[in-house]
Amino acid sequence: MKGIAKVILWILAALAVCLTFYRWAKGLGSITHLSDTWPWGLWIGFDLLCGVALAAGGFTTAAVVYIFHREKYHAIARPAILTAFLGYVMVVLALLVDLGRPWAIIHMIWMWNPHSVLFEVGWCVLLYTTVLALEFAPVVLEKWQNKFSKILQILEKVKIGLVITGIGLSTLHQSSLGSLFLAAEHRQNPLWFSPMLPVLFFLSAVMVGPAMVIFESNVSARTMGRELEKDAITGLGKALPVLAGIYLGVKFLELIVAGDIGLLFESTKYSMMFWIEILLPILAIVILLSKSLRENPNAVWGAASLIVLGVIVNRLNVCLVAMPDIFHGRTYFPAVGEFIITLGIVSGGVIAYGLIAKYFRVFEEQRT
């Protein structure tokens, strides 16, 4: 990593830590623009919803490599699982900042409300983070192979079980994050509200999983000066337009069936945000349909970035743009403090990724 970038990352992370202590002492109102009519803001919209969606590369890659035995993707399995694991840790960190009573987060474990979607999401995130930790543990433990040979053997034996459990848990909570907003039927804009929200959330997660793997492989290849896994990346690049096509198809079909398609052609801020959200993946499909561009890693990288961006806009739309304050008409824009904490958590994730990649064999070519 370049020196200056590193310094900036550390500064952002340190700032976020300081602000977090300030917010714990003074309350959420002290550094956010959240209010009674805007109880959820940037931290839920970006850190939680986008964080979980962008970590979908973990379960999609695990499925391709370990379930469907596509050997050519083996090289990206470890980095994908590491990204996913760090992603979930970042989600939990963000929750500790966002929750009004962060120490009570453990209540979830023994105070059950099986009617609550959030209860299911919470348990899935908890279990899946554990699964990811176990899936990634061999990478850390193999460094001291002699000491941990027993544990490594056990982990190797349960690996497929872990992968399958992880896919099941991911399917559940990736979709349930959409179900969260089924409770907001009364206020969510009809362009986004639909009983199909869980399905759309799941399909977009499956689409953004490979896109994120492509994006992150490119970034790490460039910053760490290693070779790109070209075979795997072009392979994923071929899958992207199919996955994006399925997602967009279901999305449009839902709009047509629900009779809300007309709203797309009214000039409101909602229709504008909706167009941005879907034009990004459409553009990615257009790029990837051309054969020469599909073979070009840079073009694939660009297309994958567009899809990642599209999903980020989608999650922010569902959580923030589509949920107007119907009672008082107040608006919300995140405060500086909210941005700093979000950036700080992301920086912390990038720093951790860099450190782990430096000390452990995350990438294939380092294997001896």
Considering the rule CB under 8 A, would residue 130 count as an interface residue with another protein?
no
Cβ within 8 Å of residue 78, ≥6 positions away: 136, 139, 361, 362, 363, 364
- Assign residue 38 a region: left if phi > 0, alpha if psi is -120 to 50, beta otherwise? beta
Considering the rule CB under 8 A, would residue 148 count as an interface residue with another protein?
no
Considering the rule CB under 8 A, would residue 72 count as an interface residue with another protein?
yes
**With CB under 8 A as the contact rule, which of the stretches 106-114, 218-226, 305-313, 346-354 interacts with another protein?**
106-114
How far is it, in rounded angstroms, from Cα 62 to Cα 283? 27
Query: Binder to another protein among 3, 4, 100, 368 (CB under 8 A)?
Result: 100
Q: Is 61 exposed, middle or buried (0-12, 13-18, 19+ CB in 10 A)?
A: buried
Considering the rule CB under 8 A, would residue 56 count as an interface residue with another protein?
no
Number of residues that bind another protein (CB under 8 A): 69
Q: Is 250 exposed, middle or buried (0-12, 13-18, 19+ CB in 10 A)?
A: middle
| CB 47 within 8 Å of CB 98 | yes
Nearest partner of 324 among 259, 263, 362, 268, judged by Cα: 268
The residue among 101 and 367 lying less far from another protein, judged by its C-beta, is 101
Six-digit token string for 69: 């035995």
Considering the rule CB under 8 A, would residue 340 count as an interface residue with another protein?
no
Least distance (Å) from another protein to the CB of residue 254? 14
Considering the rule CB under 8 A, would residue 21 count as an interface residue with another protein?
no
Query: Binder to another protein among 39, 156, 266, 358 (CB under 8 A)?
Result: 39
The residue among 108 and 282 lying less far from another protein, judged by its C-beta, is 108
Least distance (Å) from another protein to the CB of residue 280? 26
Considering the rule CB under 8 A, would residue 66 count as an interface residue with another protein?
yes
Considering the rule CB under 8 A, would residue 283 count as an interface residue with another protein?
no
Query: Binder to another protein among 70, 226, 230, 361 (CB under 8 A)?
Result: 70
Considering the rule CB under 8 A, would residue 222 count as an interface residue with another protein?
no
Considering the rule CB under 8 A, would residue 328 count as an interface residue with another protein?
yes
Query: How many Cβ atoms sit within 10 Å of the Cβ of residue 223?
Result: 15
Nearest partner of 208 among 131, 349, 107, 303, judged by Cα: 303
Cβ within 8 Å of residue 52, ≥6 positions away: 87, 88, 91, 125, 173, 174, 177, 205
Query: Binder to another protein among 172, 221, 240, 248 (CB under 8 A)?
Result: 172
Least distance (Å) from another protein to the CB of residue 197? 9
Instruction: Compute CA distances 275 → 26, 74, 84, 322, whole Å.
Output: 39, 36, 29, 13
Query: Binder to another protein among 5, 160, 279, 336 (CB under 8 A)?
Result: 160
Least distance (Å) from another protein to the CB of residue 77? 15
Dihedral, 48, 52, 55, 60 alpha carbons, nearest 10: -170
**Interacting residue ranges for another protein, rule: CB under 8 A:** 24-30, 34-37, 39-40, 63, 66-72, 98-102, 104-105, 107-108, 111-120, 122, 160, 163-165, 167-169, 171-172, 175-176, 179-180, 182-187, 195, 198, 235, 238, 323, 325-328
